[in-house]
Structure 1
């Protein structure tokens, strides 16, 4: 009886923790710390309007509604998850909260866009754009030394797998998610099943390295008021971001190594699985939070030379190229593949670029082909 009660309490705590973290992220979403300061709710405004009354009003409305919805959904989902002994309630509550936050975000976006148009915020502003050509001629170097830890983890995983492979049973168990929680399904032991997570490490490392290489050559939105300082700050931002991404890769590879060890040892323990996955994921969140709070969007909180005269320019009003409340960039005349995000920190793709469309179609074709092959076999 005590064991059952403890299990229910664990599920209640897990659902509560998941929803609490998500609620905190959604509540903080419109903060200038997590978005470019002059793009509140995905609307481009002159820097002197970033704290306008219309903007602050929408922030207060968004946060108040999210706070109420988060409290109700968290309590109900935690109680339901404890009663049923599953994390499904937390997942459903998370989807509901995200949907509500998205609707509130769209409402705020439209209200600020109307205030911007009605107030003529860009009427007297001198718009401009700057470019640092040295980012092409002398780009920030790829952090090769930071890939070594990820490769070491892969090597250790491969060596451990080779050692234990001869002694593995005929069938090995892998955890899978279901409506009732985590279940274990057995598969015939083969190189593919035994080393599947090691292969995931390799693919993950290659994918992240390719993304980092692309980001180092992505288009930069520099500070038009102080372009020299903005360029220096952006270079530091690229360096810190690239190193952080490779560090996150190490943490995820360690998580996959831990899951492989559980699989090879035939340990079917929910606490062990949670520990192996939870600790690295918490570390990943810590790195991401540090990057967001200490570095800021496009490195806005990094130090830069201060002895530069203000040009008097403001960023160009390019709202017409952004869809989905400032989350989707579509500009067929822009040759850039990657552009800085308006919502959040990082980059997004230019869906108007033909190369992006071709790459997306190719990935979809590969995914469909893999699904068909798996279904046939």
Structure 2
């Protein structure tokens, strides 16, 4: 009975959180107001009737899809005794949201073109060269917790390694629940999660380093004010990402301890994985509620006269209903998202393609090494 309740709670939690996220996606909580459904619009059209209509047409059907999907996932989770039904239920829910999003995107884009929303607007662009010449400093102090957790994991692993059995069991997930697969004990297997810690930390450091030099989403109407706010946004985001990295490393430390001690307790596994993930979710929630997309909720520290300019209409570079940026002439690898908080990559940038190929090569190499071992 306890297992059934736990599975139901996990499945419901997954779908409830995802439904709330998808429901809030087109609003100012997760997307910049000037790009509803991924379409760039002038500031005076943010609450245009065409946009508000599409928000209602998106959210109503989304809730209508979420309800039966949740009921079905809870039923399957109870029948097959698995907490993964919620993850499978997420697929049709995301598919339905994508269809509704594309419909809203096309309707708003058509209204913008037919009504000439940009015909009388004075378009402009602004940049801050000091982000290159004097960038926000990397928060090295906030990297120390992640490094310390790795060091602790290595030391504990080195102490217990001589006493490990000839074979080590690693947990795997399937539709039927958790099962364990045994591997011959080796350094690569015993310290496989340490490699994961190192890889996560290196990716996080590289990502933060890139974000601090990424193209800023500045307000052409109030450039000086937006520059100051963007710098605070970068500092808060960088510290938060390194904090999340430490939490993920802590989770892998706990999983390593369970592996080395051959502990197969499902409740303990849920605690080891769930607590750090919930803490990381709390950090993300803080960024959403208190910081906002591109730092839009951070308090302004200066008063500046409005220039009367509006951001340039750059829809031609955004594909996939405003989710994919492709511009080979833009030197920026990372650009502010139109959907959600944070940044996305410039798929048309050669440097991104090289970096992506390198990451894939390293991940593939580690997978092959572990498989051979």
Asked if these proteins are the same fold (TM beyond 0.5), I'd say yes
Aligned to 1:66: 62
Once the two structures are TM-superposed, the CA of residue 67 in structure 1 deviates from its matched residue by: 0.9
In structure 2, the residue matched to 1:53 is: 49
Q: Following TM superposition, by how much is the alpha carbon of 1:371 offset from its aligned partner in structure 2, in angstroms?
A: 5.5
- Correspondent of 2:199 among 203, 206, 219: 203
More displaced 10-residue stretch of structure 1: 343-352 or 311-320:
343-352
- Distance of aligned partners of 1:372 and 1:206 in 2 relative to their CA distance in 1, 3 Å threshold: closer
Corresponding residue number in structure 1 for 2:306:
310
The alpha-carbon deviation at position 9 of structure 1 amounts to 2.5
Match of 2:214 among 204, 215, 218: 218
Work out the CA distance in 1 between the residues paired with 2:372 and 2:7.
37
Instruction: State yes or no: 1:15 paired with 2:22.
Output: no
Offset at 1:6?
A: 2.5
SS in 1 for 2:180: strand
Partner of 1:97: 93
Q: Distance in 2 between matches of 1:374 and 1:149?
A: 27
Query: Which residue of 2 is the match for residue 44 of structure 1?
Result: 40
1:160–1:374 distance in 2 versus 1, CA, 3 Å: closer
Partner secondary structure for residue 303 of structure 1: coil
Counterpart of 2:304 in 1: which secondary structure?
coil
Please say if residues 188 and 370 of structure 2, whose CA atoms lie closer than 8 Å, have aligned partners that are also in contact. Answer: no
Query: In angstroms, what is the RMSD of aligned CA positions?
Result: 1.5
Could you say what secondary structure the match of 2:60 adopts? helix
Residue in 2 that maps onto 1:296: 292
Match of 1:25 in 2: 21
Match among 128, 133, 137 for residue 133 of structure 2: 137
Structure 1 residue 123, shift from structure 2 partner: 0.8
Shift of 1:207: 1.0
Of 283, 287, 298, the match for 2:283: 287
Q: In 1, Cα distance between the equivalents of 2:370 and 2:273?
A: 26
Query: Any gaps of 5 or more consecutive residues in structure 1?
Result: none
- Structure 2 unaligned runs (5+)? none
Q: Cα offset for 1:357?
A: 2.4
Return the match for 1:352 from 325, 330, 348. Answer: 348
Cα offsets for 1:290-338 (capped at 9, x unmatched): 1011011111111223421100000000000000000000111111111
Partner of 2:176: 180
**CA separation of 1:306 and 1:373: change in aligned 2, threshold 3 A:** closer
Return the alpha-carbon distance in structure 1 between the equivalents of residues 190 and 360 of structure 2.
27
Alpha-carbon contact 1:27-1:66 (below 8 Å) kept: yes
Q: Which residue of 2 aligns with 1:128?
A: 124
Q: How many residues align structurally?
A: 373
TM-score by length of 1: 0.95
Contact residue 77 and residue 90 of structure 1 kept, 8 A: yes
Contact 1:127 1:315 survives alignment (8 Å): yes
Q: Take 2:169 and 2:58, find their aligned partners in 1: how far apart are those partners?
A: 45
Deviations along 1:266-287, one digit per CA (max 9) or x if unpaired, are: 1101111111101111111110
SS at match of 2:239: helix
